[in-house]
Each structure stands twice: as C-alpha cells, then as structure tokens.
Amino acid sequence: MGEVSFFTKKIGRDFMTNNEVKKKNFFDKTMDFIEKVGNAMPDPVSLFIILAVLVVVLSFVLGGAGFSAVHPGTGKTIEVVNLLTKDGFRDMYSKAVTNYSNFAPLGMVLVCIIGAAVAEKSGFLVTLMKQVMGDAKSWVVTFAIIFVGINANLAGDAGFIVMPPLAAVIYMGIGRSPVLGMLVAYAGVAGGFSANLVLGMTDALAYGFTENAARMVDPNYQQTMAINWYFLVASCFLLSIFGTILTEKFLVHRFPCTPEELSKYDFDENAGQITPEQKRGLKWAGIGFILYLIALIAVSVGEDPLLADPKTHSVMTSGSPFMNGIILTVTILLFVVGTCYGFGSGKYKNDKDLFADIILGFKDMASYIFMCFFIAQFTSFFAWSNLGIVFAIKGAEFLQAMNFTGAPLLIGLIFVACIVNILIGSASAKWAILAPIFVPMMMIMGYDPAVTQIAYRIGDSITNPLSPLFYYCPVILGYVRRYAPEMGLGSVIANMIPFSLTFTIIWIIQLLIWVFLDLPLGPGGGIHL
C-alpha cells in the first residue's frame, strides 16, 4: 500500500471530527440566532448607504439643536455640523471621488494584494506551511495563527490584510474550512491588537498622549513607551491559549469542511508530499528572502539611513519612511518570495504567468473594492459632522460624573473605550480625547498613568472584531466571500462575539489580578503612584 500523504491524513481526521452529528447546544443556537438576525440585515453596501443617510439626518437634527462638547485636550467647543446645507451638499457631491481615492484601507489592501496574490497562488504559502507545520496537531496550528495575529500589530495594519488569507490556506492544509481560518486570524489581529511581545508604533502612539495628559497633574512626569510591556507580553500567551480553546472546543464543528469542498477552492488535498520541484521553489524563495532582508537592512541602518526619519534619523519613529511604508515592505517581501518560488518550482514560465495570478488576486477582491466607495462616503460624512467626537466626549464625561473608584472605575473605563471604539476607528484619535480626561482624574485618585493607559488599550481592542464601522471589517468580509459568497456581516459578527467575550473576560481578570497584587505593568509603569 502506498504512503498516505500528510494532507490526506489531516483531512481524513478533521473531516470525521468536523462532520460528527451533534445536537446543537445553547451556544450553537445562540450563534445561529445572531447570525440569522445579522444576515437578515441589508447587504453591506445597502447598510453603509443607510448609515450615511442616517449620519446626514442626525447632523441636521443635532446640529440644528446646537449639540456640542468641550474637547478636554484643547478646551475648544466642538459642535455637530449640519450637513444638510448648501455647503454640506456641495462637499458631499464634489468630494465623493476623493473620499473614495483617499480611503486609506482601500489603498493598503490593493497594494498588499500584489504581493499576497503571488505568495498564495504560486503555491508558496501552502508548501511553506507543509514544510514548517509538518504533522503538527490542529490546536498547535490554531495557537500559532492567533499568536502571530496578535503580534502582527508590529507591522501596523498590515496584519489585517496579510493574516486572514494566510490562515485560510493554512487551515485548508489541515482539512479545515478556510472561512474559519480567516475568522480565527481576524480575531487574533483585531481583538488582540494592543498586545505584543515587541514594542512598536502602537505603544509609542499611546504613550505620547498619556505623557501629555499626565503632565497636566505632574509637569515632570516622564517614562517610556514600555510602561505596559510586562502586562501585554503575558496577554499574548493568555489570549492565544484561551482563543485556541474556544476555537477547538466550540467553533470548529460549526464549519464542517469535506475534501469535495476543498476541491472547489482549487486546493489539491492529495498533494501532501513536497515534490523536488517544490523543494527547489522553497530554496529559491529562501534565497530571495535573504537577499531582500540584506537590502532592507542596508537602507535601514547607519547614521542617517535611507528609510529613517530625516529629523530623528531613526527607522522606528512614526514619521519614518520605514514605518509609513510598512505595507509596501510586506508587499515586496511577499512578492519576492512568491515570485522566486513560482519560477523555482516551475509554476511560472514567464512574466505573463506571474501577472495573471496578480490579476486573479484583484478579481477575488472585486466586491470589497466596490463596497469601499460607500464606506468611504459614510466615514467622511461621520468625520465632517463631528458626531463621533462629540458622542465620545459626552460618554467619557458621563463616566467621570458617576464617580466610580478602584476596580469598577478601571472596568468602566474599559467599557467606555469599547463604546468609543465603535464610533471612532483611529486608536490615536480616541486616546487623544479620553487621555486628558481619565489620566489626570486617575492620577489625582492615586493611580499611575500606566494602569489608565492599559485599561484604555484593552477596551480599544476587544470590540474591534464586532464593529461594522471598523475600517477592516469590510476587508474580512471581502476575504470571506471569496470562499463563502453567501456570508454577510451577521455571519462575521456572530462568530466574532465569542472571541470578543473571551478576550474581555480574560483581560479583565488579568487586570484585576495585576491590581490586587500590585504588580508592575512594565518598566516604570505600576498600578499606584
């Protein structure tokens, strides 16, 4: 008898597991109900059209009533702007195209597709996964996807674009639904966005606002962006562990996947052994990776590197070409290794074969490209009206007026950040509003700015996967529809709720333990002053 392939064994095992007849429990029934209700909503395009109209109407009502709030940082009064005026209509009409072309997630996705399409469709990702994963257990694969997704914030927003399609390919490799792989990756990237093993741009941005707010009470306050580092390192492992348990015990059976279904995705489950051609492709990809890495280092080191901020001469500051161009860096990396693999394995004979795969990648994202036009209009209207900022300030003032203390106050801050996160996508914009309110208030009550910052960062992360207004929600929906065109926002949100709830519980328990034991949150960052 011939040797049974890696994929065949995996698929057979998971096929039997995933397709067992199980009586639906309360969890399954609840998830089905949420998904049913969510999918009964209009198509996402129609939904964003409705939301855009709603924003315009609210701006008319609240703007006419003089609804306003005082920005805690600047002291300026911010009023809701009525968009139903001649000037408002002129802006909405004349700026529709620029709203679309300037919509940041669209540009990032389109650029990243160039590299991601080559890496995927050349077969590089599948072969690499077979080589690296070997005969790893399914839970190990799930843990790895969540863990890497959580730490993907080191590359800024690139994780939202790269991780879901990569996870889809990896999950197909172990006989599981690519849709589930995408959702698991998205939960890790979005829900665990604040956690990281290595300090990065998100830490720098958060600390900058924290330091300025703290100096309102203590003009001499100065620490480093590492004030939450110990806590966040622990978070990476805790969230990954419990996210894996949730996936393996409760979610896998909701996404049964047969070998026949895998074949519909142009995935060859019988190609379990790595062929000599594929080995040669991996060797070429490895050489390409090393050469690219050498080139990247060459333009990133020295007294004044090419990719450094001309003022600070550092590549790690938020204003450096390296950090601003991280999407392009990742895209070029994927393009290089995918191209090298394709030619090395014989998949590509010429440049026409290469570019044909890139075009297929753009074709797969056509629905997302179309959807972005309407999302761009909605987000622009929302920003012009000042509704998000005013509502956020009012919510923070309400919590302050409740006069909570201790742990209830920290938990309250987490949930305020959750609510504000639904209204305002930008993490820095939210903290610019909330930091001047809560950091001084907590310092007066004897709390270190570090604990206020970590409470905010928890709240800023856990509702990311649930918000239909989150920039990258349409991205994951577009990816998912490549494999399941019938899925809607309800399906995505319903399957994100368990992750958000799990991450919320784990993070709050972790924070309470830290507070109870008075543990350091990071170098220079404690619980109490």
Q: How confident is the model at residue 470 (pLDDT cuts 50, 70, 90)?
A: confident
Q: What is the CA radius of gyration of the chain?
A: 24
Window from 149-158, 160-169, 460-469 with minimum mean pLDDT: 149-158
Average pLDDT of span 422-429: 65
d(CA 377, CA 100): 7
| pLDDT for the residue 482 | 84
Number of residues that this document lists for the chain: 529
Q: Please report, for residues 64, 80, 379, the alpha-carbon distance to residue 77 in angstroms, rounded to integers and kept in the order given.
A: 16, 10, 22
**Residue 394 pLDDT more than 90?**
no
Q: What is the pLDDT of residue 1?
A: 35
Predicted local distance difference test score (pLDDT) of residue 7: 42
Q: In a 3-state reduction of DSSP, which class is residue 528? A: strand
CA distance 411 to 398: 14
Task: Please say whether the beta carbons of 213 and 440 come within 8 A.
Answer: yes
pLDDT at residue 411 tops 70: yes
State CA 420 to chain mean position distance.
17
Q: Does the pLDDT at position 67 exceed 60?
A: yes
- Which H or E run contains 230? helix 229-246
Please state the rounded mean pLDDT for residues 94-108.
Answer: 86
Q: Residue 364: pLDDT above 70?
A: yes
| Distance set, CA 305 to CA 53, 269, 301 (Å) | 48, 46, 5
Query: How confident is the model at residue 425, as a pLDDT?
Result: 62
Is the model's pLDDT at 349 over the cut of 90? yes
Look up residue 225 and give its two tokens.
Answer: 């962006």
Nearest to 216 by CA among 439, 64, 516: 439
Give me the residues paired with residue 252 across strands: none
Res 85 pLDDT > 90: yes
Is the model's pLDDT at 399 over the cut of 50?
Answer: yes
Contact predicate 361/368, CB 8 Å: no
Q: Which residues pair with 68 in a beta bridge?
A: 79
> Is 167 in contact with 182 (CB distance < 8 Å)?
yes
> Is 270's pLDDT higher than 70?
no
Is residue 71 within 8 A of residue 393, CB to CB? The reply is: yes
The CA distance from 228 to 452, in Å, is: 10
Question: Is there a contact between 368 and 475 (Cβ–Cβ < 8 Å)?
Answer: yes
Residue appearing with tokens 């939904």: 47
Confirm if 198 and 477 have CB atoms less than 8 A apart.
Answer: no
Whole-number pLDDT of residue 329 = 86
Q: Tokens in use for 396?
A: 């923070």
- pLDDT surpassing 70 at residue 26: no
Q: Coil, strand, or helix at residue 83?
A: coil
Question: Residues of the chain with pLDDT > 70: what percent?
Answer: 84
Calpha distance 16→37 (Å, rounded): 30
In terms of pLDDT, which residue wins out, 202 or 337? Answer: 337
**Quick one: average pLDDT of 362-370?**
82
Q: How confident is the model at residue 156 (pLDDT cuts 50, 70, 90)?
A: low
- CA-wise closest residue to 144 among 480, 152, 217: 152
Q: How far is CA 29 from CA 23, 42, 221, 247, in A?
A: 10, 22, 52, 17
Residues 6+ apart with CB under 8 A from 373: 100
Residue range 290-348, pLDDT digits in tens = 999 999 999 988 888 898 888 888 886 767 888 778 778 888 998 999 999 999 999 99
| 208, 319 Cβ separation under 8 angstroms | no
Closest by Cα among 151, 152, 180 to 167: 180
- Six-digit token pair at 201? 């741009």
Average pLDDT, the chain: 82
How far apart, in whole angstroms, are the C-alpha atoms of residue 442 and residue 298? 45
Residue 16, pLDDT score = 42
- pLDDT at position 20 is 44
Q: With the C-alpha atoms ordered 61, 64, 70, 73, is the resulting torsion angle positive or negative?
A: positive
Most confident of 19-33, 196-210, 343-357: 343-357
**Pairwise CA distance, residues 113 & 481, whole Å:** 16
- The residues, any chain, with a CB within 8 Å of residue 451's CB and separated by 6 or more, are 410, 442, 514, 515, 521, 525, 526, 527
How would you class 130 by CB atoms within 10 Å of its CB: exposed for 0-12, middle for 13-18, buried for 19 or more?
buried
- Rounded to the nearest angstrom, the gap between the alpha carbon of residue 305 and the centroid of all alpha carbons in its chain is 30
Question: What is the pLDDT, as a whole number, of residue 221?
Answer: 87
State pTM to two decimals. 0.70
Quick one: pLDDT at residue 37? Answer: 63
Is the pLDDT score of 71 beyond 90?
A: no
Q: Pick the more confident residue, 42 or 329.
A: 329
Q: Assess contact for 399 and 440: CB atoms under 8 A.
A: no
What whole-number distance in Å separates Cα of residue 439 and Cα of residue 456? 10
State how far the Cα of 507 lies from the Cα of 454, in Å rounded to an integer.
10
Cβ-contact 178, 172 below 8 angstroms = yes
pLDDT tens digits, one per residue of 103-137: 776 887 788 788 888 887 888 877 876 777 666 78
